[in-house]
Amino acid sequence: MKQKTWTIDDHLDGKPDTSVALYHEFVRLVEACGPFTYAVSKSMITVKGTRRGFAGAKPDARGLRGYFDIQRTISDDARITSVSPYTKRLYVHAFRISDLAGLDEEFAGWLREAYEVGQGGHLGTS
């Protein structure tokens, strides 16, 4: 039995226009960080740097949900739905965005931090 290969279009198909627009803005913010690749699965569209995946997103009926990995915790922002330690140096931040205003410069800054993780910036000596 052949397994389905998931695509970005599969994730966008049938989603509200607002959710698709949020996804495209998320990608625009990631593109501003530098080159990356995609890893698409049934559950998420992950973006990867040269060393590892650093963020992911999936449009749904309510907007955009996803995650990013950074080296600190953010606990005082309503967009962040949970924070979990991933390694000694990394924390996975789950987010939910319901309108374009949520993808602001502060969010772009978090993605820049996550992009550095994707490039291996978290692997420095400490």
pLDDT in tens, 38-49: 999 999 999 999
- The boundaries of the domain holding residue 36 are 8-119
What is this structure's pTM?
0.93
pLDDT digits (tens, 9 = 90+) for 14-45: 999 999 999 999 999 999 999 999 999 999 99
For residue 90, is it within any domain? yes
Q: How far apart are CA 19 and CA 97, in angstroms?
A: 9
- CA distances for 115 relative to 1, 27, 92, 107, angstroms: 36, 12, 13, 12
Q: What is the pLDDT, as a whole number, of residue 125? A: 53
Average pLDDT, the chain: 95
| pLDDT at res. 80 | 98
Number of structural domains (the chain) is 1
Which CATH number goes with the domain that contains 38? 3.90.1150
Averaged over 79-103, what is the pLDDT?
Answer: 96
| CA dist., res. 46 & res. 58, Å (int) | 9
Q: Which of 74, 81, 77, 64 lies closest to 19, judged by CA?
A: 64
Q: Is residue 3 part of a domain?
A: no
Question: Would residue 86 count as lying in a domain?
Answer: yes
Assess if residue 124 is contained within a domain.
no
Res 9 pLDDT > 90: yes
* Better-scored residue on pLDDT, 88 or 17: 17
Q: Does the pLDDT value for residue 58 go beyond 60? A: yes
